[in-house]
Amino acid sequence: MTTLITPIIETIIKSSVILIVTFASTMFLRRQSAALRHMVWTMGLFCSLALPLFSLLMPAWHVEPIRSTQPSPSVIASQPIATESGTVAVSPAAKAPLRPSIHAGAVGLSDLGDWSSFRRFPPSS
């Protein structure tokens, strides 16, 4: 039952947002011609009516939040360190505890890729 209700609720929320933006746009265009305001309302209604069709045809896009992860204890192994007197193994407990760095978000954002790949047209010469 919830698998059927969820897309309906999402469509209602998205259509409401489109119609609220349309209403706000026509309020800002109050001094403009009626033809322009009519076109804005027509496009807003068309987009809200076409939204269920577009939701079926277009791929879904779910954005995951950026999380700072720490390696599990089973991954951390003792690593030998070369010293003058010989090789000494250091246990993971002797190391400082791992804390998420302040740059974790910046590293995650750099993984999004190059935004120029989203262009539709080749660059003009």
In this structure, what are the phi and psi dihedrals at residue 121, rounded to the nearest 5 degrees? -110, 150
Residue-wise pLDDT for 40-97, tens only, equals 999 999 999 999 898 888 887 777 877 776 656 555 556 666 667 765 555 555 455 5
Q: Determine phi and psi for 89, rounding to 5 degrees.
A: -90, 135
Residues written for the chain: 125
pTM metric for this prediction: 0.48
Both structure tokens of 68: 């700072």
Q: b/e for 91-125, b at 16 or more Cβ within 10 A?
A: eeeeeeeeeeeeeeeeeeeeeeeeeeeeeeeeeee
